[in-house]
Structure 1
Amino acid sequence: MATRKPSIDQDLIRDLANILNETDLTEIEIEQDDLRVRVSRAGTVQTVHAPIAQHQAPAPAVPLQSATASAEAVATAAAKTANTVTAPMVGTVYLSPAPGAKAFVEVGQTVTEGQTILIIEAMKTMNQIPAPRAGKVVEVMVTDGHPVEFAEPMIVIE
């Protein structure tokens, strides 16, 4: 019996990748019928089809970005990841203690370990997020009043 080769909807993958870029999510996954597609910032898209028989293996991962990324770009991304403060919970992020108040931190500011850098509201509770280390704020990756996902990058401290 001949098996049909499933076609991959490249427009769907592009749309999911655009959603990742627009929302700064690290991963998104959808499932429809026997097709599941996951796109992550790690650079891979995985397509898995429900097995028809015991011996059928899932489809291989398809690279989302070129496999010829330079070593310098990889090293820069790794350093940025190591210095990135990620969301410890899902909620709404606030960059200041009250509407209209000055932000806890700004790009270029030096922070100390334990200093409050932002607030995440989860289940009507305001959770102060402290700086995990002392350093200089080089990037704020979230927008005041917008939702954040667990492990979403928020602030880079070098």
Structure 2
Amino acid sequence: MAPIPFEPGAIRMLAKLMAETGLTEIELAEKDRRIRVVRGAVQAPMQHVMIPATPSAAIAAEPPAPAVAGVADPDAVLSPMVGVAYLTPEPNAPSFISVGARVEAGQTLLLIEAMKTFNPITAPKAGTVTRILVESGDSVDQGQPLVVIGP
């Protein structure tokens, strides 16, 4: 089968649509032609290992409670979705961030894998990472605090 020629304009249009809508992946199919555009770095497959936690281990792994009970840290970056958090772009790579690191608005802090898609979680503002509340491989819920960025 001969390769299918693609129009650069179609790919640019899909990339523009992705940027406007915030999508990380888009695919168009028509008869025997298919175009798939993915934004962001290609991720190596990651192996997941589930280790059951004992009740005492689960309690020890919880992040410390905020200083004022019932009040979330206003500098916390919250998870926008349910998924699995990764602090590195691929296995054996350095972490995107570390405690004490200076970050700029829009900088990738971590990835959340949801439905086999890796979604970058970016810094909403510039500042210093004061706490990292998750570890690579942790399951996260929507609205869960992930990272605290202070002034």
TM over 0.5: yes
Q: What do you get for the CA RMSD once the two structures are aligned?
A: 2.9
Which structure 2 segments of 5+ residues have no match? 1-54
Distance 1:114 1:121 in 2: 19
Aligned to 2:76: 84
Distance 1:140 1:106 in 2: 8
Shift of 1:118: 0.3
The 1:23/1:139 distance shift into structure 2, 3 A limit, reads same
Asked if residue 114 in structure 1 is aligned to residue 102 in structure 2, the reply is no
Asked if residue 157 in structure 1 is aligned to residue 149 in structure 2, the reply is yes
Aligned to 1:65: none
Which structure 1 segments of 5+ residues have no match? 1-15, 25-40, 43-72
Shift of 1:95: 0.2
Query: What is the SS of the residue equivalent to 1:155?
Result: strand
Give 1:99's aligned amino acid: P
Pick one of 139, 144, 148 that aligns with 2:140.
148
Distance 1:21 1:149 in 2: 19
Aligned to 2:3: none
Q: Which runs of 4+ in 1 moved over 6 A?
A: none
Asked if residue 74 in structure 1 is aligned to residue 68 in structure 2, the reply is yes
Distance 1:89 1:21 in 2: 24
- Cα deviation, 1:106-128, whole Å, max 9, x if unaligned, reads 00000000000000000000000
TM (norm. structure 1) is: 0.53
Give 1:74's aligned amino acid: V
Shift of 1:74: 2.7
- Cα deviation, 1:56-106, whole Å, max 9, x if unaligned, reads xxxxxxxxxxxxxxxxx439x85x610001111000000010001000000
Pick one of 124, 138, 141 that aligns with 2:130.
138
Count of paired positions: 96
Shift of 1:146: 1.4
Distance 2:127 2:59 in 1: 28
TM (norm. structure 2) is: 0.55
Query: What is the SS of the residue equivalent to 1:85?
Result: strand
Distance 2:75 2:146 in 1: 11
